[in-house]
Amino acid sequence: MAELIPIPSPGVPFEYGEPGAPVVVLVHDWYGRLPWLERYAEALAHQGFRVVVPDLFGGFATTEAETAEDLSAQLDVAGALAEIDDILQLARSQGSTRIGLVGFSMGGWLALLHAQSGAADAVVAYYSTLGSTQHGIIPSPVLLHFAESDEWDEGQDPESFIDRLKDHGTPVTDFSYAGTAHSFANATIPGKVDAAAAALAFVRTANFLEKHLLE
């Protein structure tokens, strides 16, 4: 596998903010835990959250799409969901009583899957949905950020996913960002990022989390 980038603290979650504050788990995309997530986490921590960023790829990341696809294909989904469980259990033991999940692409898919457990009080997914065969009831409010240009498998398109959420009674808010493509929030990938859209999506995410976790 080419173009792998070793990352700091392999396998160890990064933590920001004060223990005991409402916790937000940031779940990285298929490129891995790249540096832009540190800035995103720090910005959320400044809003009053405890933010935890796991490494689901065992100490490696990439900036190449082909390598990212290989990394994501090797992901242990059950293990990733269990790692989120462990993070939440520790946060609760430290006094956190409110829980948010924020995921990007692959990480958004994991966040939406995990939210079906009922553990989260709010979930945010960037350019991600669940297919009809994966979709159960998500009891928490959901915020979805979509790129204007993206590709979806049958049954995973945003319209179908949002309709299923509404059918199940899930409160859902969605935004599409003009002129953007998949991964527009990933600031470590110059060819993907749209700085203006990423900034607006962050503000909307922070406001959503404040409403459901801090108020």
| Rounded Cα gap, residues 28 and 5, in angstroms | 15
Q: Which amino acid is at 138?
A: I
Angle at which helices 77-93 and 106-115 cross, to 10°: 60
- Enumerate residues 6+ apart whose C-beta is below 8 A from 179: 148, 194, 197
Q: What distance lies between CA 119 and its chain's CA centroid?
A: 15
pTM given for the model: 0.97
Q: The dihedral of CA 144, 72, 188, 66: what is its sign?
A: negative
| Rounded Cα gap, residues 15 and 87, in angstroms | 10
Decide: helix, strand or coil at residue 27.
strand
pLDDT digits (tens, 9 = 90+) for 127-178: 999 998 898 899 999 999 999 999 998 889 999 999 999 999 999 999 999 9
Reduced to 3 DSSP states, what percent helix, strand and coil does the chain have, rounded to the nearest 5?
A: 35, 20, 45
| Rounded Cα gap, residues 208 and 95, in angstroms | 21
- Hey, how many other C-beta atoms are within 10 angstroms of the C-beta on 165? 21
Mean pLDDT of 92-117: 97
Question: Can you read off the two tokens belonging to residue 3?
Answer: 């173009």
Calculate what percentage of the chain has a pLDDT beyond 70: 99
Q: What domains are there in the chain, each with its CATH number? A: 5-214 (3.40.50.1820)
Residue 1 has pLDDT above 70, yes or no: no
Closest CA to 86 of 54, 123, 42, 118: 54
Question: Can you read off the two tokens belonging to residue 176?
Answer: 């599409």
| Rounded Cα gap, residues 166 and 142, in angstroms | 11
